[in-house]
C-alpha cells in the first residue's frame, strides 16, 4: 500500500496545532477524506488551506494534533494529499489516528528545526530517515506491529487482511 519513501514540498506550522483547527467539529458528519479535505484548516483561512493542498508534507512543532480524538483530523489530511507529517512531537490520539488511517507521522525534532516553509522534505519510514533540502536526519523506525498497520493502509485494511488469513 505505502511506498517506503514519500515526500515533496512542505508546509510548516508552529506548536500545538489543534484538531478543531485541522478539521472543525461541524464537519465530522462526514468520513469521506475528500469531502473533509475541503474544510481542513478552514479556521486559518483560504491561503493556508491552499498551501496544505499543494504540499505533500506537513512539518510542525510540538504537540501537533492536540485536542479531540476525532479520527478525521488524520483522514482530512490524507484527502488533502498530505503523505507525511513530521513534527517535534504529536498529541497521542492524533498519532494513533495517523497510524490507524495509514498516514505517516514521524517525530524528528532535528528535521523540524532544519525545515523552512516550502522546503523539499522526504521521509523513509523503514530506514528511519527524514531528508530536508538534501540534509538527512534520523528517527527511530516504527516497531514492527505499527509498521504492519501503516503499510496496510491503516487499521481496518490491516485487520481485514488478518481476518482473511485466519479464515483460510
Contact residues for other proteins, defined by CB under 8 A? 16, 18-21, 24-26, 28-29, 31, 42-43, 62-63, 66-71, 74, 89-93, 96-97, 100-101, 143, 145-146, 154-156, 159-160, 163
Nearer to other proteins (CB atom), residue 81 or residue 157: 157
Least distance to other proteins, CB of residue 86, Å: 17
138 near 83, Cβ under 8 Å?
no
6 near 104, Cβ under 8 Å?
yes
91 near 45, Cβ under 8 Å?
no
104-107 and 120-124: which strand pairing? unpaired
Least distance to other proteins, CB of residue 143, Å: 6
**CB-based burial of residue 165 (10 Å sphere; 0-12 exposed, 13-18 middle, 19+ buried)?**
exposed
Least distance to other proteins, CB of residue 82, Å: 17
Nearer to other proteins (CB atom), residue 134 or residue 144: 144
Amino acid at each position: 500500500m505505502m511506498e517506503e519513501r514519500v515526500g515533496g514540498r512542505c508546509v510548516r506550522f508552529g506548536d500545538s496545532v489543534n484538531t478543531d483547527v485541522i478539521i472543525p467539529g461541524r464537519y465530522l458528519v462526514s468520513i469521506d477524506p475528500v469531502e473533509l479535505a475541503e474544510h481542513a484548516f478552514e479556521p486559518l483561512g483560504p491561503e493556508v488551506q491552499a498551501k496544505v493542498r499543494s504540499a505533500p508534507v506537513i512539518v510542525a512543532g510540538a504537540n501537533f494534533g492536540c485536542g479531540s480524538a476525532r479520527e478525521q483530523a488524520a483522514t482530512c489530511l490524507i484527502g488533502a494529499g498530505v503523505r507525511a507529517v513530521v513534527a517535534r512531537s504529536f498529541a497521542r490520539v492524533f498519532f494513533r489516528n495517523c497510524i490507524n488511517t495509514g498516514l505517516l507521522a514521524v517525530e524528528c525534532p532535528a528535521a523540524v528545526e532544519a525545515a523552512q516553509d516550502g522546503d523539499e522534505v522526504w521521509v523513509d519510514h523503514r530506514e528511519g530517515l527524514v531528508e530536508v533540502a538534501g540534509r538527512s536526519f534520523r528517527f527511530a523506525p516504527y516497531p514492527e506491529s505499527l509498521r504492519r498497520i501503516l503499510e496496510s493502509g491503516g487499521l481496518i485494511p490491516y485487520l481485514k487482511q488478518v481476518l482473511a488469513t485466519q479464515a483460510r
